[in-house]
Chains A and B, each alone.
Chain A
Amino acid sequence: MAKFDLNDDSVVCIIGSGAGGGTLGNELAQRGIKVVILEAGGRSETQDFFNDEWDSFTQLAWTDMRTTSGSWRVAKDFANLPAWIVKAVGGSTVHWAGASLRFQEHEFKTRTTYGALPGANLHDWPITLAEMEPYYTKAEFKMGVTGTNGIPRLPGNNNYKVLAAGAAKLGYKEFHSGNMAINSQPRDGRGSCQQIGFCFQGCKSGAKWSTLVSEIPKGEATGNMEVRPGSMVHKIEHDASGKVTGVVYMDSKGVTQRQKARVVAVAGNSIESPRLLLNSASSMYPDGLANSSGQVGRNYMRHMTASVYATFEKPVHMYRGTTMAGIVRDEARHDTKRGFVGGYEMETLSLGLPFMAAFLDPGGWGRSFTSAMEDFPHMAGMWLVGEDMARETNRITLDPVAKDKQGLPVASVHFDDHANDIAMRNHGFQQGAAIYESVGATRVFDTTPYPSTHNMGTNRMSEKARDGVVNKYGQTHDIKNLFVSDGSQFTSGAACNPTLTIVSLAIRQAENMAGMMQRKEI
């Protein structure tokens, strides 16, 4: 396995090892480019994961201090946990459920399609679906997405069967067990899904694609990539010309180190990535790196989310089997007759008993709550995930008071739902209830959004430098050897789960970055 010198200024230094960073690292390493990935979290492998929700949360979740504000209920119920994402090698691909969907064509053109929505900051992406399609194809092949490349879909579990029966009753047309980056048959050196049911807790069979089980070991095998766990980056440094020169980080022993680099790529998810750019402010860049537009940290999106759970007379055991292998897509279309722009997906979701207690109705207690818990084995559940509207005021800032262990300001996350998000959520609650009631639900629960799992948009991509942070390749408008490689690049969030698009963008970025390096442009 490669080991690179701290003073080796020929490496590409990637901050974060998740869907963006881990994929970019492997793609560059495969091209013979030297890569150092600095990962803040530790390294747990497949056999180390727990089939236990709280134990797993302790093992994997990013629980470092963050603060919140705004009218979203997460700020009240989980004031220091705005997001449920991972601090570990593999990043949030260790935790993700595997749903791998392409954006629809209009979702790259939200300003054109939806118009100038008051209170929203919509822009078209500087790329189109047609430009992305070859990369989506590569990503689907890389990740082994079911329903693509001739890979059969997963068998539907009990929770899916309830969803599908209700969807059929309601006359929905497009529902199936999903496009999932989970092996339905052995592939790419990994086995097939054993229907374990703990997809969120790190897949213990290795059937689920993650950068931990795929991109990172493949990248390491080239001899061109080194992953350093336990390495928390404080600051990106630059020279007098303004180009970045490397990063300062605290290593796993608590010692401050400086890794030099030819290129720096930020992939710490949409909360930490802007925080790092803001914390890297200097006399030359007083508002933070790559922030001449003032857009770093702004336009934070977290998807319109909510869940619908329902109890039935007879058992369901929704937690058995693949957590999210079930989807109804009919509401994902853009159709303003429903009273909102954009659309949403309905995807199967289940929680175990401990997390159901924590998330069914945060703050709930008494017999209304406990009678619901007693019906746990008779419950079915779905997640609503839809496009939320970017707003400049929904943003990540540096907390003026709270500091981390290194004395650096922590991220503060402000979020207010746009009226469109609320209208869409209400529609989803209504349709979700209708699905379950059509097959005999005796009680339906409208469950409030969880801490954000989809975090997007805080270093958005834009055609013009004044409108965003990065260009169509994720290269910052201001500093040519500084890139952003995670979901914070998203100009808009679309209705679907973001990982496939993050991976596709990383593949595309690697191709273009390698070209720029070869041409000595960076």
Chain B
Amino acid sequence: MKTIDKPEQIGRRGFLAATAAAPAAASLIVGISADAAWAQEAKNLTPHAMATLVKAARDIFPHDHLADKYYVAACAAYDALAADAGKKAMLMDGVARLDEDAAAKFKAANYLALNWEADRVAILQGIAHTPFFAKLRSDLVVTLYNQKELWPKFGYEGASADKGGYINRGFADIDWLPTT
């Protein structure tokens, strides 16, 4: 049966090779942080707000096999959206609410400072009824899963007509069903 990669798994050997090849500058790997280049580039939102939105995006749709860049891409449009004062207020207020709740519930500096996903999810559950959360979730379900680059990571092959469909490419190749 023709399959394509599900969540890619890097073996120990592959991991060692990859880390050996990478530059030894740990400072390049900043993760989801206001210091990251993509956060610093924000024009209408603060870098802190950008980073918080990206972190929340990962917490709403957590896929451990996806690099941060897909969540950054999913949130990229928010900065431009914040050119509108009303939209900006909604996003900035939403981020402020996440930070306030992190402080109140867990005595953390802010949402980003909470290291356990479960704690951050508890905060998201607390605001799940808000228009801010609804907007985030309903935008992200498109802006994340509609990125063609990540489709192969979910075993989805995308367009097929340009490849002649599946008539000769495994539309009926399932081989594990019980015979009747």
Using a CB–CB cutoff of 8 Å, the interface residues on chain A facing chain B are: 50-52, 54, 155-158, 161-162, 165, 168-169, 193-198, 204-205, 314-317, 319-321, 352-354, 356-358, 363, 365-367, 369-370, 373-374, 376-378, 439
* Complex contacts, B155 vs chain A, CB 8 Å: 315, 317, 376-378
**Contact between B154 and A157, CB atoms less than 8 A apart:** no
**Contact between A54 and B146, CB atoms less than 8 A apart:** yes
Using a CB–CB cutoff of 8 Å, the interface residues on chain B facing chain A are: 1-4, 6-7, 60-63, 65, 121, 124, 137, 141-142, 144-146, 151, 154-162, 164-167, 169-174, 176-178, 180
Looking at the assembled complex, report how far the CB atom of B54 sits from the nearest CB atom of chain A, in whole angstroms. Answer: 15
- The distance in angstroms between the C-alpha atoms of A356 and B61, with both chains bound, is 14
* Complex contacts, B177 vs chain A, CB 8 Å: 161-162, 165, 439
* Complex contacts, A439 vs chain B, CB 8 Å: 177-178
- Beyond A165-B177, A196-B166, A357-B141, whether A157 also contacts B171 by CB under 8 A is yes
- The distance in angstroms between the C-alpha atoms of A373 and B63, with both chains bound, is 9
Residue on A with the closest CB to B146? A354
- The distance in angstroms between the C-alpha atoms of A370 and B144, with both chains bound, is 12
**Contact between A194 and B167, CB atoms less than 8 A apart:** yes
Could you tell me the dominant secondary structure of chain A's interface residues?
A: loop
Q: A321-B165, A357-B145 are in contact. List 4 more A-B contacts (CB 8 A).
A: A365-B137, A370-B62, A373-B145, A377-B155
- The distance in angstroms between the C-alpha atoms of A198 and B165, with both chains bound, is 9
**Contact between A198 and B178, CB atoms less than 8 A apart:** no
A sample of 16 cross-chain residue pairs with beta-carbon separation below 8 angstroms, ordered by A number, consists of A51-B162, A158-B171, A168-B180, A194-B164, A194-B165, A195-B167, A314-B176, A319-B156, A320-B169, A320-B171, A321-B172, A356-B145, A358-B145, A365-B124, A369-B61, A377-B156
Which of A161, A168, A198, A354 has most chain B Cβ within 10 Å? A354
Residue on A with the closest CB to B1? A315
- The distance in angstroms between the C-alpha atoms of A137 and B1, with both chains bound, is 40
Looking at the assembled complex, report how far the CB atom of B61 sits from the nearest CB atom of chain A, in whole angstroms. Answer: 5
- Cross-chain pair count, CB within 8 angstroms: 134
* Complex contacts, A197 vs chain B, CB 8 Å: 160, 165-166, 171
**Contact between A366 and B164, CB atoms less than 8 A apart:** no
Could you tell me the dominant secondary structure of chain B's interface residues?
A: loop
- The distance in angstroms between the C-alpha atoms of A373 and B176, with both chains bound, is 22
**Contact between A52 and B172, CB atoms less than 8 A apart:** no
- The distance in angstroms between the C-alpha atoms of A52 and B162, with both chains bound, is 12
- The distance in angstroms between the C-alpha atoms of A373 and B173, with both chains bound, is 22
Q: B154 is contacted by which of A168, A315, A377 (Cβ under 8 Å)?
A: A377
Looking at the assembled complex, report how far the CB atom of B150 sits from the nearest CB atom of chain A, in whole angstroms. Answer: 9
**Contact between B172 and A158, CB atoms less than 8 A apart:** yes
**Contact between B137 and A195, CB atoms less than 8 A apart:** no
* Complex contacts, B145 vs chain A, CB 8 Å: 353-354, 356-358, 373
* Complex contacts, A365 vs chain B, CB 8 Å: 60-61, 124, 137
Residue on A with the closest CB to B2? A317
- The distance in angstroms between the C-alpha atoms of A377 and B157, with both chains bound, is 10
**Contact between B180 and A169, CB atoms less than 8 A apart:** yes
**Contact between A204 and B154, CB atoms less than 8 A apart:** no
- The distance in angstroms between the C-alpha atoms of A374 and B7, with both chains bound, is 7
Q: B160 is contacted by which of A51, A366, A367, A374 (Cβ under 8 Å)?
A: A51
* Complex contacts, B156 vs chain A, CB 8 Å: 319, 352-353, 376-377
* Complex contacts, A157 vs chain B, CB 8 Å: 166, 171-172
**Contact between B63 and A374, CB atoms less than 8 A apart:** yes
Looking at the assembled complex, report how far the CB atom of A166 sits from the nearest CB atom of chain B, in whole angstroms. Answer: 9
Q: A196 is contacted by which of B6, B154, B161, B178 (Cβ under 8 Å)?
A: B161
**Contact between B166 and A374, CB atoms less than 8 A apart:** no
- The distance in angstroms between the C-alpha atoms of A358 and B138, with both chains bound, is 8
- The distance in angstroms between the C-alpha atoms of A374 and B160, with both chains bound, is 21
**Contact between A373 and B165, CB atoms less than 8 A apart:** no
Residue on B with the closest CB to A47? B161
**Contact between A196 and B165, CB atoms less than 8 A apart:** yes
* Complex contacts, A317 vs chain B, CB 8 Å: 2-3, 155, 157, 170, 174
- The distance in angstroms between the C-alpha atoms of A374 and B155, with both chains bound, is 8
**Contact between A366 and B172, CB atoms less than 8 A apart:** no
Looking at the assembled complex, report how far the CB atom of B135 sits from the nearest CB atom of chain A, in whole angstroms. Answer: 13
**Contact between B161 and A198, CB atoms less than 8 A apart:** yes
- The distance in angstroms between the C-alpha atoms of A353 and B6, with both chains bound, is 13
* Complex contacts, A205 vs chain B, CB 8 Å: 161, 165
Looking at the assembled complex, report how far the CB atom of A431 sits from the nearest CB atom of chain B, in whole angstroms. Answer: 18
- The distance in angstroms between the C-alpha atoms of A50 and B161, with both chains bound, is 9
